[in-house]
Amino acid sequence: MSLYAPNPFFVDWIRQQYLDRITEFVTSKDESNHMHISLHVGNAQMEAATPSQPATAPTTAPATNGYANPFQSVSSTSRQSAPSSSFPQNNLNAKFTFGNFVEGKSNQLARAAAEQVAENPGISYNPLLIYGGVGLGKTHLMHSVGNLILQDKPDSKIVYLHSERFMANMVKALQSNSMDAFKNYYRSVDALLIDDIQFFANKGRTQEEFFHTFNNLIEKNKQVIITCDRYPKEIEGLEERLKSRFGWGLTVAIEPPDLETRVAILMSKANHSNIELPHEVAFFIAKRIRSNVRELEGALKRVIANAQFTGRAITLDFVKDALKDLIAAQDKLISIDNIQKTVATYYKIKVSDLLSKRRSRSITRPRQMAMTLAKKLTNHSLPEIGDAFGGRDHTTVLHACRKIEELKSESVDIEEDYSNLLRTLST
């Protein structure tokens, strides 16, 4: 049996995603006969009449209510009247919702903005840009928006994709002369959710294409949501015109969660897995695993798996043992040493300057910043931190922490330095 699709994308896509299922389905109708199905570019009637004519839309193409993705990276509703109910596949992860996103100081703004966008897509903030280090919930929030829009308006065409996928699809389209289909597809959506935009850096052609898609969607009041692992203006190799357009809507940061939020996330995840997690255990894990939520989740999964495997109760001692290598790795990662090196590199000074007695502003500020970060990110006491900074007194460390706190609220530069360093050290 021959099936026809309008272009090589469809052929590839159907071969990879559906051919087995189609074969199985057709064979199940006539079990005596294993049907061989071949896929071609073209159209059945045309093929029969004049095989050499250019392909047009096939009569046998899947019914897709107009937005099947020939580029294999779609997200949209699954409400299809197509041969297969999962046509096209839905890239929105239904598990990522606002309901299971734990709110804390570090993500409050991003979450509120995302909720606003989900309630008024294309109207409130367009584009919405969420940035922050890895594993902090950007993708989760993005999917939550998509899922909520779909819940309210199931017919909406939502496309979620990673920016590398956008690029790969564009390259495929270029290779097979299908740029029109590519453009039409991405410009026909109600919301485009595009993850990790930093991957566009130095990809001129992709940026060009995205630029036009972006403009087209924004002009039509279609929602665009973008995530990025850093403040977009910091991305080298990203065109200025894109950077400036990203700022048209709202740009919000997600910071690493504070201790209380980490505990709340653990409790919530454990609760969803029907696991009773003693509070002191959640507190212990949250205190030791600080880098990001993905790591936190990983640690909890490991604890749960170990407990189920060994049949032991989740006590503090059990968890200390189950996570000992992870904790050792974390401790190594955020050592005072590491903080000093990172801060020195950031401010382009030497580590020895941080430890020295020099008191010029260009050294004092970075030193205070490094002390503050050491207090925040390690378990060391004030005297231990003072010691590590050339044998200073604990009151100096305390003063440094207060000073930076004060400066952060007065100076955007200091606030930005602090956030940048925190992000670098926490990821």
Residue in the shown chain whose Cβ atom is closest to ligand ATP: 137
Least separation in angstroms between residue 285's CB and ligand ATP is: 14
Query: Beta strand 223-228 with 158-162: parallel, antiparallel or unpaired?
Result: unpaired
By the 8 A CB rule, do 193 and 145 touch? yes
How far apart are CB 111 and ligand ATP at their closest, in Å? 8
State CA 280 to chain mean position distance: 30
Applying CB under 6 A, which of residues 109, 134, 275, 326 lies at the interface with ligand ATP? 134
Binder of ligand ATP out of 58, 70, 88, 135 (CB under 6 A) = 135
- Partner residues linked to 191 by β-bridges: 158, 223
Taking the C-alpha atoms of residue 35 and residue 33, their distance in angstroms, rounded to an integer, is 6
**Minimum gap (Å) between residue 139 Cβ and ligand ATP:** 3
User: Closest separation between CB of residue 150 and ligand ATP, Å?
Assistant: 18
Cβ nearer to ligand ATP, comparing 127 with 135? 135
Which of 128, 242, 265, 270 binds ligand ATP (CB under 6 A)? It is 265
CA distance 152 to 191: 14
Q: In the set 69, 75, 107, 126, which binds ligand ATP (CB under 6 A)?
A: 107
Mask of contacts with ligand ATP, 159-198, x by CB under 6 A?
Answer: -------------------------------------x--
Kindly tell me which residue out of 147, 161, 166, 229 binds ligand ATP, with binding defined by CB under 6 A: 229
Q: Which is nearer to ligand ATP, 143 or 376 (CB)?
A: 143
Q: Does 140 bind ligand ATP (CB under 6 A)?
A: yes
Quote the CA–CA distance of 419 and 399 in Å, as a whole number: 20
Give the number of other Cβ atoms within 10 Å of residue 88's Cβ: 24
**CA dist., res. 420 & res. 336, Å (int):** 17
Q: Tokens 């279609």 sit at which residue? A: 222
Binding-site positions read: 135, 137-139
Of 243, 294, 320, 394, the residue at the interface with ligand ATP (CB under 6 A) is 294
Which amino acid, residue 191? A
Min. distance of Cβ 100 from ligand ATP in angstroms? 6
Stretch of 71-79, 138-146, 170-178, 236-244 contacting ligand ATP, by CB under 6 A: 138-146
| 3-state SS track over 128-142 | EEEECCCCCCHHHHH
Q: What backbone torsions phi and psi does residue 271 show, to the nearest 5 degrees?
A: -60, -45
Stretch that binds ligand ATP, among 23-31, 66-74, 131-139, 416-424 (CB under 6 A): 131-139
Q: Is 102 in the site for ligand ATP (CB under 6 A)?
A: yes
Q: d(Cα 161, Cα 357) in Å, to the nearest integer?
A: 52
Under the binding rule (CB under 6 A), the answer on residue 101 touching ligand ATP is: yes
* CB proximity list for 231: less than 8 A, separation 6 or greater: 131, 251, 253
Query: What φ, ψ does residue 227 adopt, rounded to 5°?
Result: -120, 160
For residue 241, which amino acid is it? R
Cα separation of 247 and 365, whole Å? 30
> How many residues lie near ligand ATP (CB under 6 A)?
18
Binding of ligand ATP at residue 418 (CB under 6 A)?
A: no
Stretch that binds ligand ATP, among 79-87, 98-106, 270-278, 392-400 (CB under 6 A): 98-106
β-sheet bridge partners, residue 253: 131
Stretch that binds ligand ATP, among 42-50, 58-66, 96-104, 120-128 (CB under 6 A): 96-104
Q: Does 138 bind ligand ATP (CB under 6 A)?
A: yes
Report DSSP letters for 52-70, one per residue: TSPP---TTSPP-TT---T
Q: Which is nearer to ligand ATP, 258 or 353 (CB)?
A: 258
The C-alpha torsion from 276 through 279 and 284 to 287, rounded to 10°, is 120
Q: Which residues bind ligand ATP (CB under 6 A)?
A: 96, 100-102, 107, 134-140, 196, 229, 265, 293-294, 297
